[in-house]
Amino acid sequence: MEEKFNFEDLIKKSRVSDTEIINHAAIIGGGLMGQGIAQTIAASGLDVLIIEKSEESVKHASEMLGDSIDREIKRWAMTQSEKKAIMSRIRWSVDSNDLAEADVIIEAVDENYDLKAGIFRTADKIAKPETIFVSNTSTLSLSKLAEETRRPEKIIGMHFLNPVPKVPLVELVKGLKTSNYTVKTIRDFAKRIGKTAVEVYEYPGFVTTRAIVPLLNEAMHILLEGIASARDIDTAMKLGYNFQYGPLEMADMMGLDEVLAWMDTLWKTLGEPRYRACPILRKLVRERKLGKKTGEGFYKYDDDGKIVHSN
């Protein structure tokens, strides 16, 4: 007896679900943010490639990531087997040609337009035509970055917050030519890696950066004016407004060089005094006291990243 042809079943079998579109992710930049994004993606069960500029940078970044996870293990927040699984899904490389197999490419380098634009131009020549490009920028124009490529409809922003594995939020930033398909695909990808995505219009600072920068800046001015110590300023905000971290501790966690870059961009772009960086921030960055990642900022930290005392 001839088998009945079922057209509906054929469609179901041939259809690829949105969550399966992205199976191989690549990250350009193995700094603090890149490491956090990679850990988050790997913890969801996906393979991830990190591209760094040198073998020395690869070694340093890999050790930093391992040490960070070890600290979580000490706090009973993670197990050795989870670490092993995460690290086994992360591959490191210094060859940009390895980007050819990625379904999504995420740049997570310093907040510098020329640097990000150069990365997008290079990746555009190597990546598959269907590959989506993601920028982790917190202040720069996605539409302008998209002009550097031949795929403006596949350019989108994913602004992760530090520490990436712990913060459940990501801002999805749509450029002028970003397609609805790209937005939906990346929203599904965000959900798959355990993040709640909020869509924001392209505008300097988006939501989170624009809202948090004036708070951080004002806390720094309070410290500069000698009104209270760093610890007391943070305690006041934590207990008074139910913050998990005080503004100065938060700035240290974000990286003071990154915070300064955000402020300078917003000040230059919007011209509003509330974004003009406090002198104490510029002083700390000049002295390379960049916060938790260097062991000293508004606070001093031990090898486990715990606060020893405030400066």
Give 73-100 pLDDT, tens digit per residue. Answer: 988 889 999 999 999 999 999 999 999 9
Instruction: Tell whether the model's pLDDT for residue 226 goes beyond 60.
Output: yes
- 254-279 b/e (C-beta count within 10 Å ≥ 16 → b): bbbbbbbbbbbbbbeeeeeeebebbe
Separation CA 182–CA 188 (nearest Å)? 10
Lowest mean pLDDT among 18-27, 48-57, 161-170, 295-304: 18-27
pLDDT over 60 (residue 1): no
pLDDT at residue 20, as a whole number: 54
- What is the number of other CB atoms lying within 10 angstroms of the CB of residue 169? 14
Radius of gyration of the chain (CA): 21
Res 2 pLDDT > 90: no
Q: So what's the pLDDT on residue 77?
A: 85
**What single-letter amino acid sits at 166?**
K
Higher-confidence position of 308 and 240: 240
Residue 8: pLDDT above 50? no
Banded model confidence at residue 309, pLDDT cuts 50, 70, 90: confident
More confident residue, 204 or 190: 190
- Contact residues for 244 (Cβ-Cβ < 8 A; gap 6+): 238
pLDDT for 6 beyond 60: no
Predicted pLDDT of residue 7: 39
> In the predicted model, is pLDDT for residue 154 greater than 70?
yes
Question: How high does pLDDT run on average in the chain?
Answer: 91
pTM recorded for the entire structure: 0.83
Mean pLDDT of 51-79: 92
Residue ranges and CATH numbers for the domains of the chain are 18-201 (3.40.50.720), 209-301 (1.10.1040.10)
